[in-house]
Amino acid sequence: MNHLPLATRIRPRKLNEFVGQEHLTGLDKIVRRMVESKNVFPIIFWGPPGTGKTTLARIIAGETGAFFEELSATSAGVSDIRKIVAEAKERLKLSQRTILFIDEIHRFSKAQQDRLLPFVEEGTVILIGATTENPSFGVISALLSRCRVLVLKSLEKKYLGEVLNKGLSDKERGLGKYSVQLDEEAREFLIDMAHGDARIVLNTLEIAVTLLGKESKNISLKIIEEALQKKALRYDKAGDEHYDTISAFIKSMRGSDADAALYYLARMLEAGEDPLFVARRLVIFASEDVGLADRTALPLAVSCFQACHMIGLPECQLNLAHVTAYLSKVAKSNVTTEALGKAKRDVEEYGALPVPLKLRNPKTKLMKGMDYGKGYKYAHNYSKDELKGEDYLPEKLKGRKYFKNE
Asked if residues 84 and 77 have their Cβ atoms less than 8 Å apart, the reply is: no
Q: What one-character-per-residue DSSP string does 6-26 give?
A: HHHHT---SGGG--S-HHHHS
User: Other CB atoms closer than 10 Å to residue 387's CB: what's the count?
Assistant: 11
Q: What's the whole-number average pLDDT of the chain?
A: 88
Res 231: pLDDT: 60
Average pLDDT value for residue range 214-235: 76
| pLDDT above 60: residue 406 | no
pLDDT tens figures, 317-343: 999 999 999 999 999 999 999 999 999
| Residue of higher predicted confidence among 3 and 170 | 170
The one-letter code for the residue type at 49 is P
Pairing of strands 148-151, 181-182: unpaired
pLDDT tens figures, 104-137: 998 888 888 988 899 999 999 999 999 988 888 8
Res 226: pLDDT: 86
Average pLDDT value for residue range 252-265: 95
pLDDT tens figures, 41-88: 999 999 888 899 999 999 999 999 999 999 988 888 888 888 999 999
Task: Pick the closest to residue 279 from 302, 298, 295 (CA basis).
Answer: 302
Confidence of residue 232 (pLDDT cuts 50, 70, 90): low
Res 1: pLDDT: 52
- For the segment(s) 157-228, the CATH number from 2.40.70.10, 1.10.8.60, 1.10.1200.10, 3.40.50.2300 is 1.10.8.60
| pLDDT above 70: residue 234 | no
Domain range list for the chain: 21-151, 157-228, 240-329
Asked if residues 112 and 128 have their Cβ atoms less than 8 Å apart, the reply is: no
C-alpha to C-alpha distance for 14 and 59, rounded to whole angstroms? 6
Q: Domain 240-329: which CATH class?
A: mainly alpha
Question: Taking the model in full, what pTM does it have?
Answer: 0.63
Asked if residues 160 and 128 have their Cβ atoms less than 8 Å apart, the reply is: no
pLDDT tens figures, 182-221: 889 889 888 888 888 899 899 899 888 888 877 778 888 8
CATH number of 21-151: 3.40.50.300
